[in-house]
Amino acid sequence: MASITKRGSTWQYCVSRIVDGRYKPIRKGGFRTKKEASVAAAQIEADIAQGLIYIKKDISFARYFLEWFRTYKMDVGTITLNSYQATYNKILSYFNETPIQKVTKRDYQIFLNGLGEINAKDTNRKLNGYIRTCIKEAIEEGLIKNDFTRNVTISGTSGKKSSNKYLDYTSSQLLLQDLHKNIERGIENIMLILALSTGLRYGELIGLCINDLDFKNNRIRVLRQWKYKEGGGFGSLKTEKSERTVSIDKMTMLALKKHLITVKDNPANVHNLVFFEPASDISVISNDRLNNALRSILKRLNIKPLITVHGLRHTHSSILLYKGVSILYVSERLGHSNIDITTSTYAHVLKELRERDSKQANDIFEHLLIV
């Protein structure tokens, strides 16, 4: 018979079970009410009675991670999927066929320490996040009991400073004005204008189709990305939240309208791409070419740091936050899967805003005392 106990604010069940003469109970917690735990326990007992609960044999850490992400993470974008595959390769290289049941916290920490000597800290933090989610699932399945990823130390090189990833407000203004002034110089300029004024990812930018542009309401629909790393063709967005509608200023929409004259009637543009480039092997301007164009302009304007096109996404977001736009809206505009990603990505900006808001809060109450 199952026992139901309360742990903190939630309930858990423990179903008794004897396997090969040894006591191996099945436990699961996190239920909001005692009744929910009892119902779940009853189902487990029924499954045991029908032989539906089997003994999970040892499975290698690498194999389990591979099966896990191929089962639960196949709806993510190609780039993210490649990150899961790279994580699997690292696990396999270090742990080989070591069963997940045999991996200790010390083993895992040594694994992370080794990666810390060769990778950036942000890269290792992301890798640990993937593995940590996987291990939680292994615990839920009853495959292992302890979370060996809990409270580990993430190390690695510092990478770029936050301040080197985006432009300040004055530099952004200078860049945007120059881009509009020289918009006839090439397709790169209008692409850079849109990247700065919308915060779109490069893949989203080149994946825009002509019918995604809504000139009546001054907005664009982000529905897909172009698979530039695979030689072209449409692909799904990074996350579900990446599908969104983004409002755009009138000047940028006018620039887009003028640009469409050069591509909308081109018979070679079979996909109706906004930024179609017939001379390109992938039908669009490459990321390297666009980065080179941006850096050339920044050098001419004597603007530092020399950021990438992705840095324009960070610049866009930082400007909005500095100007008091809510972080919830910024998160939605960027297409982040949740607001926590926005908060962690722009922690440096939020810290400065917090200091500004703290002073403003004090000033408000000081003015209340002025008669």
The predicted pLDDT at position 354 comes to: 76
Q: Are 131 and 91 in contact (CB under 8 A)?
A: yes
Burial 337-358 (b: 16+ CB within 10 A, else e): eeeeebeebbeebbeeeeeeee
pLDDT digits (tens, 9 = 90+) for 83-141: 899 999 999 999 999 999 999 999 999 999 999 988 888 889 999 999 999 999 888 87
Residue 74 has pLDDT above 60, yes or no: yes
Mean pLDDT of 266-280: 91
Give the pLDDT of residue 348.
72
Question: What pLDDT, on the 0 to 100 scale, is given for residue 48?
Answer: 72
- 278-293 pLDDT tens trace: 888 899 999 999 999 9
Terminal CA-to-CA distance of the chain, rounded, Å?
A: 73
Asked whether residue 69 carries a pLDDT value surpassing 70, the answer given is: yes
Secondary structure string (H, E, C) spanning the chain:
CCEEEEECCEEEEEECCEECCEECCEEEEEECCHHHHHHHHHHHHHHHHCCCCCCCCCCEHHHHHHHHHHHHCCCCCHHHHHHHHHHHHHHHHHHCCCEHHHCCHHHHHHHHHHHHCCCEHHHHHHHHHHHHHHHHHHHHCCCCCCCCCCCCCCCCECCCCHHHCCCCHHHHHHHHHHHHHCHHHCHHHHHHHHHHHHCCCHHHHHCCEHHHEECCCCEEEECCEECHHHCCCEECCCCHHHCEEEECCHHHHHHHHHHHCCCCCCCCCCCCECCECCCCCCCECCHHHHHHHHHHHHHHCCCCCCCCHHHHHHHHHHHHHHCCCCHHHHHHHHCCCCHHHHHHHCHHHHHHHHHHHHHHHHHHHHHHCCC
Query: In this model, does residue 224 exceed pLDDT 90?
Result: yes
Distance CA 74, CA 85 (A): 11
Q: At what angle do helices 169-181 and 287-300 cross, to 10 degrees?
A: 100
What is the mean pLDDT of the segment spanning 306-320? 92
**For residue 349, is pLDDT > 90?**
no
Integer Cα distance of 65 and 111 in angstroms: 15
pLDDT of residue 53: 57
pLDDT at 20 over 70: no
Predicted model pTM: 0.61
Q: How far apart are CA 280 and CA 191, in angstroms?
A: 15
What pLDDT is stored for residue 249 in this prediction? 94
- Nearest Cα residue to 221 out of 205, 244, 250, 197: 244
Q: Residue 251 pLDDT > 60, yes or no?
A: yes
Radius of gyration of the chain (CA): 26
Can you tell me the distance from the alpha carbon of 293 to that of 313, in angstroms, rounded to the nearest whole number? 16
Q: What is the pLDDT, as a whole number, of residue 2?
A: 79
Contact 218, 268 (CB under 8 A): no
pLDDT over threshold 60, residue 161:
no
Residues 171-210: tens digit of each pLDDT? 999 999 999 999 988 899 999 999 999 999 999 999 999 9
Q: Report the pLDDT value the prediction gives residue 231, as an integer from 0 to 100.
A: 83
Q: Looking at residue 207, what is its pLDDT?
A: 95
Supply the pLDDT for residue 179: 95
What's the pLDDT score for residue 113?
Answer: 94
Q: Band of the pLDDT at 248, cuts 50, 70, 90?
A: very high
pLDDT at 9: 83
Q: How confident is the model at residue 346 (pLDDT cuts 50, 70, 90)?
A: confident
In this prediction, residue 105 carries a pLDDT of 94
- If one compares 84 and 364, the residue with the highest pLDDT of the two is 84
Res 204: pLDDT: 95
163 has pLDDT over 60: no
* Cα distance between residue 195 and residue 222, in whole Å: 13
Q: Work out the average pLDDT over 360-371.
A: 79
- The answer to whether the bond into 305 is cis (omega within 30° of 0) is yes
How far are the Cα atoms of 16, 164, 192, 197 from residue 287, in angstroms, in the given order? Answer: 58, 19, 11, 18
Mean pLDDT value across residues 245-262: 92
To the nearest whole number, what is the mean pLDDT of the chain? Answer: 87
